């Protein structure tokens, strides 16, 4: 790596711009399904087997030694859970789990739950309808019904949860076979909202269906993936008051992790499951797939040369692996298993029953009183030789905010920034873009959004006040810190009700060179100390290897008066600053603003530029925007031409389009931006997903 690169990368500057309030609501949070239990008791499930693999019974508390961070702990509770003792005639009534978790988990309710579920195998069937195709939903339902009919044991208490437009508890824990089958068969297989994940903006290797381009749902996947992880975390927290081991079978068609995503959500979901003693068993309902180089018989033939070079097969394999990687992570990190590439869907139920049949449950109260949120390692040892034990290896301690000093609070932010498992109690969303300044330097606008409804306000004189601490770090591919962000955002408004119906957006700008980076932002509201994190991999392209050099596309609906800063900000032009819309959610009454740049356009060699459409410098750039609903084009804007460089110092042609959304019906759209460099004979067709809501829906949120 050259010294020039280091010199440029080291000069990362963060320019703090004013905080704004946005009128668009973020995706709704499933707050009804959040449950938190405060208890000092740490539970550890331990399985003990002999050399032949048989479970060892009749052990006593004195046969075990428990250590936390190598310090001995006193075992205060000891029990053995065995589902073999449940007689077939014992039938548990439906358990109103929603009512139970709506109450604080006091000592009495915890004891009642422990007695209620003793020697029971607790299984949650989680159907992710938001991403499965109808045939995949049908396979999931069929396999679940066959389990209820053929494999369900007397000790099995089964609950059904689904995620479509919202998270729903379809059936609480019960052993009633007919009740479970009725709920399973009530699922509508036509409710599948699946999509082809991993598609790109290139026509190479895509089916030739006489449609001009393929749909790319990458931007939609960003929020959809985080939404599914949040749902899993909510279910885990909802079951935290039940001490026994729980198993969740997650039916899906994979979970892609692409684009600007919150990687913290994945770790938060796995940690919530670990703390709740919940093992995740993930199922890929696509089953065993045959990836044919030329495409399957029911699909059209592929464009380009990739079917003959083998690139289409490699792309399909990579896409399939990407969607399965998160399923494997969720299962392995929570003590479950992932079932992939198999058409025998009954194996998952047998695995759940075997893993949770018999185990010891040890409980201790940690001798470490610190509430610092740090990871604590658990070690369980046996005083008997020749036996094999299995148990969870650690947990994250709770954190206390109210009793922290100013220095402690600052250290807390720093620890959160450095933590491998940051908090996600405060919802945080992030958007990033890149625009070339000169040579290999780029301006990278960063937008951090927090829902106003999540910010508590205090009344001071005649104003409602609140503060947010923002801390961030950008590091290179070797995790070396390249720059930091630190700011305290102060909010003072006449009435906090107005803010609670909007979003608070914090903007800053980084100056980076091309390369791969890791960006992490931590936000804390200073009333209760809740924190949220967003971290993502950020790649700034090397334009030297790209035929058509194009910036990111920024979607917006609002402008504001901007002030010049010491650092360049491409979104600030002619005294007006474009405010990026991070969520890509718009009202039908709004205008859609699109901003993007094209660099180093080709120049025509024609002797008479006017005949070729180029300007006197030979530049001829064309662009317009098309909107798709599924595969059908429903609207296309008029063509915009550019024959002169808009920013000569940056060798950039700038496009800023303004489109009214009133002519489009509410719903999800794929916005395709068509960019053609006519002089050079090059083109790009990037796509972004957006949601248009009815005017009345957003008017009430202003």
Both tokens of 82, joined, read: 């065995």
* pLDDT level of residue 594 (50, 70, 90 thresholds): very high
Q: 84-107 b/e with 16+ CB inside 10 Å = b?
A: eebeeeeebeebebeebbeeebee
Tell me the C-alpha to C-alpha distance, in Å, between residue 9 and each of 511, 515, 521. Answer: 8, 9, 19
Beta bridge partners of 303: none
In a domain? residue 564:
no
DSSP letters for 520-560:
EEEEEETTT--EEEEEEEEEE--GGG-SSEE---EEEEEEE
| CB-CB contact of 367 with 73 (8 Å) | yes
**Same structural domain for residues 145 and 213?**
yes
Q: What is the model's pTM?
A: 0.58
Question: Which of 341, 368, 392 lies at the terminal end of a domain, its last residue?
Answer: 392
Beta bridge partners of 462: none
In a domain? residue 281:
yes
Dist CA 78 CA 361 (whole Å)? 6
Helix (H, G, I), strand (E, B) or coil at 274: helix
User: Which helix H or strand E contains 493, and what residues bound it?
Assistant: strand 481-493
pLDDT tens by residue, 647-674: 998 999 999 999 999 889 988 898 999 9
For the cut 70, the answer to whether the pLDDT of residue 403 exceeds it is no
pLDDT of residue 405: 67
**Same structural domain for residues 89 and 232?**
yes
DSSP letters for 340-382:
-S-S-TTHHHHHHHHHTSEEEEEEEE-S----B--EEEEEEEE
Give the whole-number percent of the chain exceeding pLDDT 90: 22
Dist CA 45 CA 47 (whole Å)? 7
The C-alpha angle 136, 140, 141, rounded to 5 degrees, equals: 115
Dist CA 149 CA 368 (whole Å)? 48
| CB-CB contact of 425 with 534 (8 Å) | no
Both tokens of 61, joined, read: 């508390």
Question: Which of 542, 557, 572 lies at the terminal end of a domain, its last residue?
Answer: 542
In a domain? residue 557:
no
Question: From its phi and psi, is residue 245 left (phi > 0), alpha (psi between -120 and 50) or beta?
Answer: beta
**Same structural domain for residues 382 and 490?**
no
- Where helices occur in 381-473 by DSSP H, the ranges are 406-418
**Same structural domain for residues 168 and 233?**
yes
Q: How many CB atoms lie within 10 A of CB 199?
A: 17
In a domain? residue 548:
no
pLDDT of residue 370: 77
**Same structural domain for residues 5 and 39?**
no
In a domain? residue 562:
no
pLDDT of residue 13: 35
Burial of residue 567 (CB within 10 Å: 0-12, 13-18, 19+) is middle
Q: How many CB atoms lie within 10 A of CB 398?
A: 14
* pLDDT level of residue 192 (50, 70, 90 thresholds): very low
Q: Distance between alpha carbon 409 and the CA centroid of its chain, in Å?
A: 27
State phi, psi for 610 to the nearest 5 degrees: -65, -35
**Same structural domain for residues 162 and 62?**
yes
| CB-CB contact of 21 with 505 (8 Å) | yes
Tell me the C-alpha to C-alpha distance, in Å, between residue 50 and each of 53, 233, 335, 384. Answer: 5, 35, 20, 11
Q: 677-695 b/e with 16+ CB inside 10 Å = b?
A: bbbbebebbbbbbbbbbee
What DSSP character marks residue 685? -
| CB-CB contact of 9 with 476 (8 Å) | yes
pLDDT of residue 615: 61
User: Which helix H or strand E contains 99, and what residues bound it?
Assistant: helix 97-101
pLDDT of residue 294: 58
In a domain? residue 591:
yes
| CB-CB contact of 551 with 436 (8 Å) | yes
Report the CATH number that the domain containing residue 266 is assigned in CATH: 3.40.50.410
Both tokens of 439, joined, read: 């040579």
Tokens 């006091």 -> residue: 106
pLDDT tens by residue, 315-365: 555 565 566 777 888 888 787 888 887 777 788 888 888 777 788 888 898
Helix (H, G, I), strand (E, B) or coil at 209: coil
Both tokens of 70, joined, read: 């190598």
Dist CA 134 CA 127 (whole Å)? 12
Interval 246-258 mean pLDDT: 80
Q: How many CB atoms lie within 10 A of CB 141?
A: 20
pLDDT of residue 130: 76
Which of 33-47, 373-387, 578-592 shows the lowest mean pLDDT across its residues?
Answer: 33-47
What DSSP character marks residue 198? T
How are strands ordered across the β-sheet holding 121-128?
Answer: 167-174, 156-163, 121-128, 246-252, 278-284, 338-339
Dist CA 647 CA 228 (whole Å)? 43
pLDDT of residue 555: 94
**Same structural domain for residues 201 and 123?**
yes
In a domain? residue 577:
no
Report the CATH number that the domain containing residue 650 is assigned in CATH: 2.60.40.10
**Same structural domain for residues 483 and 618?**
no
**Same structural domain for residues 152 and 68?**
yes
- Could you give the number of structural domains in the chain? 3
**Same structural domain for residues 468 and 595?**
no
244 versus 298: the higher-pLDDT residue is 244
93 versus 366: the higher-pLDDT residue is 366
Give the side-chain half-sphere CA count within 13 A for 365. 5
Q: Distance between alpha carbon 484 and the CA centroid of its chain, in Å?
A: 24
Q: Which domain holds residue 47?
A: 33-392
**Same structural domain for residues 20 and 43?**
no
In a domain? residue 635:
yes
| CB-CB contact of 160 with 183 (8 Å) | yes
Ranges of beta strands (E only) in 412-480 are 429-432, 435-438, 441-451, 458-460, 463-476
| CB-CB contact of 534 with 440 (8 Å) | no
**Same structural domain for residues 482 and 610?**
no
* pLDDT level of residue 200 (50, 70, 90 thresholds): very low
* pLDDT level of residue 613 (50, 70, 90 thresholds): low
Both tokens of 331, joined, read: 């299962």
Question: Which of 542, 565, 599 lies at the terminal end of a domain, its last residue?
Answer: 542
């Amino acid at each position: 790596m050259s010294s020039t690169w280091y010199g440029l990368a080291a000069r990362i500057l963060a320019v703090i711009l004013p905080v704004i309030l946005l009128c668009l609501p973020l995706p709704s949070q499933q707050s009804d399904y959040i449950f938190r239990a405060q208890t000092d008791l740490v539970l550890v499930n331990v399985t003990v087997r002999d050399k032949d693999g048989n479970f060892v019974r009749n052990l006593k508390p004195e046969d075990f030694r428990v250590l936390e961070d190598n310090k001995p702990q006193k075992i205060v509770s000891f029990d053995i859970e065995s589902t073999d003792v449940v007689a077939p005639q014992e039938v548990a009534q439906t358990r109103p789990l929603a009512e139970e978790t709506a109450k604080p988990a006091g000592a009495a309710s915890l004891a009642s739950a422990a007695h209620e579920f003793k020697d029971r195998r607790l299984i949650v069937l989680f159907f992710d309808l938001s991403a499965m195709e109808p045939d995949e939903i049908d396979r999931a339902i069929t396999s679940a019904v066959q389990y209820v009919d053929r494999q369900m044991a007397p000790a099995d208490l089964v609950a059904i949860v689904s995620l479509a437009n919202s998270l729903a508890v379809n059936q609480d824990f019960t052993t009633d076979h007919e009740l479970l089958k009725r709920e399973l068969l009530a699922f509508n297989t036509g409710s599948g909202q699946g999509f082809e994940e991993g598609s790109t903006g290139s026509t190479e290797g895509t089916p030739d269906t006489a449609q001009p381009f393929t749909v790319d749902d990458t931007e939609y996947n960003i929020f959809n993936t985080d939404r599914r992880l949040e749902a899993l975390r909510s279910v885990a927290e909802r079951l935290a008051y039940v001490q026994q081991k729980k198993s969740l079978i997650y039916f899906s068609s994979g979970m892609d992790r692409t684009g600007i995503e919150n990687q913290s959500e994945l770790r938060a979901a796995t940690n919530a499951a670990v703390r709740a003693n919940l093992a995740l068993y993930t199922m890929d309902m696509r089953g065993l797939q045959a990836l044919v180089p030329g495409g399957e018989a029911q699909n059209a033939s592929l464009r380009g040369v990739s079917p003959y070079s083998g690139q289409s097969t490699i792309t399909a394999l990579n896409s399939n692996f990407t969607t399965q990687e998160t399923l494997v992570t969720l299962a392995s990190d929570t003590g479950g298993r992932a079932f992939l590439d198999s058409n025998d869907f009954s194996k998952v139920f047998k695995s759940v029953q075997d893993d949770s049949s018999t185990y010891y449950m040890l409980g201790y109260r940690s001798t470490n009183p610190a509430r610092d949120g740090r990871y604590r390692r658990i070690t369980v040892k046996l005083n008997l030789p020749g036996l094999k034990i299995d148990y969870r290896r650690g947990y994250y301690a709770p954190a206390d905010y109210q009793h922290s000093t100013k220095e402690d609070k600052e250290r807390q932010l720093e620890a959160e920034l450095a933590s491998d498992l940051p908090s996600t109690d405060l919802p945080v969303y992030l958007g990033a873009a890149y625009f070339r300044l000169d040579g290999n330097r780029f301006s990278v606008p960063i937008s951090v959004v927090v829902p106003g409804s999540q910010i508590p306000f205090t009344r001071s004189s005649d104003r409602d006040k609140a503060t947010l601490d923002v801390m961030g770090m950008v590091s290179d591919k070797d995790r070396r810190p390249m720059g930091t962000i630190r700011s305290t955002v102060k909010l003072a408004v006449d009435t906090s009700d107005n803010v609670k119906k909007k979003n608070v957006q914090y903007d800053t700008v980084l100056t980076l060179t091309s390369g791969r980076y890791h960006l992490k932002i931590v936000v804390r509201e200073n009333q209760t100390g809740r924190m949220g994190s967003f971290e993502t991999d950020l790649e700034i392209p090397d334009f030297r290897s790209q035929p058509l050099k194009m910036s990111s596309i920024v979607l917006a609906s609002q402008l504001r008066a901007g002030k010049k800063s010491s650092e360049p900000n491409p979104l600030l032009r002619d005294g007006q600053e474009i405010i990026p819309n991070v969520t890509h959610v718009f009202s039908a009454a709004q205008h859609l603003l699109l901003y993007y740049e094209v660099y180093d356009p080709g120049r025509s060699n024609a002797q008479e530029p006017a005949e070729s459409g180029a300007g006197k410098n030979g530049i001829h750039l064309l662009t317009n925007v098309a909107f798709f609903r599924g595969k059908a084009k429903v609207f296309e804007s008029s063509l915009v031409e550019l024959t002169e460089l808009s920013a000569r110092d940056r060798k950039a042609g700038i496009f800023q389009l303004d489109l009214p959304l009133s002519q489009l019906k509410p719903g999800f759209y794929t916005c395709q931006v068509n960019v053609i460099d006519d002089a050079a004979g090059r083109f790009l067709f990037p796509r972004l997903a957006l949601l248009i809501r009815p005017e009345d829906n957003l008017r009430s949120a202003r």
